[in-house]
Amino acid sequence: SKLSELCRRISAAGFPASLDGADVSIAAVNTLEDAVEGELSFLSNRKYLRLLETTRASAVIAAPDVAVPDGRSVVRCADPYAAVTVAIVLLHGHRRHPRWGVSSRAEIHPSASIGPNANIAPHVTVGEGAVIGADCTLYPGVYVGDRARLGDGVVLFPNVVVYDECVLGHRVTIHAGTVIGEDGLGYAPVGGKWLKIPQVGRVVIEDDVEIGANCAIDRATLGMTRIGAGSKFSNLIAIGHGTKVGENAMFVALVGVAGSVTVGKNVTLAGQVGLAGHLTVGDGASIGAQAGVAGDVPAGAKYLGAPAVEINEAKRQFIAVQRLPGWSKEVNQRLRDLEAELARLRAKINGDQE
């Protein structure tokens, strides 16, 4: 594909782009480190400016104010990350799934409803009264429980489990090994033992959600655990029972959310964030990596640390901790000076008394 055509298509997608340099042919997209002649790369993070000097890419996507070495073609776009996303789709396309039709080696209950153009692999199990929407793809080892419902265009990768009664909206993608709707940690302390509380709720995952590998989303004790439309989860994330996550959340790997938490819209939780139970995180909040959150977070707030505090306060605390060794030396020296001065004064007083 010619670079000028890529520019036109990127602009048509809503990200105005212009060509600076030769209209070279592009066959693929690659990283700055690994790209070769005939490939397109991009710079969206200025930490990697140095790589523009050494990349072998025939062209790069960069912001208008980024200096690119002479002789290299540049696609200028204010949002290089969005632009390269369009280019990847154009040059590489989306993932292509194997085609099984509805395999005769899948275990599908006679009462289950299978939508048109379903793509169900061998060794899939679909339970009694389950509903599989149109254009769904279920990889080997998938289990869809009794009366569970999948919308249209759902993709479940190998060994995904969707327990009974759970609901997945349209165009939901769930990666390998994730479990939807297992029992939450619901036990009552009775006589020094734990009494199991039946978990009779369900999980509802709304449209256009993507969930990474080996996540676990607990069913509610009563009612529902809900993941809002457009939310994106990385791998190894645990969501407790009865938690409500708003639309367009971004949860990075190893996030743990306890039960009965309310997370607003457009919230970002960075890697290894932990949220205690029964708290609220407001719309648009952002919580930094490894933060431990024990109380409510206001809308739009940025928190960091363990225990988590407002991000500027967290930075002050971090700086103070880093300065402690120097302060300790200074305090110890002052203490020695004071002790010496005290000894001198005592000696003087004793001398005067004699």
Active site residues: 241
Contact 227, 267 (CB under 8 A): no
Contact 103, 33 (CB under 8 A): no
Q: Which residue has the tokens 């693929």?
A: 28
DSSP string, 85-102: HHHHHHHH-SPPPP--SB
Distance CA 354, CA 352 (A): 5
Structure tokens belonging to residue 21: 């340099």
Contact 36, 59 (CB under 8 A): no
Q: Give the pairing of strands 302-304 and 309-310.
A: antiparallel
CA distances from 353 to 220, 224, 308, 344 (A): 82, 84, 59, 14
Distance CA 52, CA 260 (A): 48
Largest CA distance in the chain: 110
Q: Integer distance in angstroms from the first to the last C-alpha of the chain?
A: 102
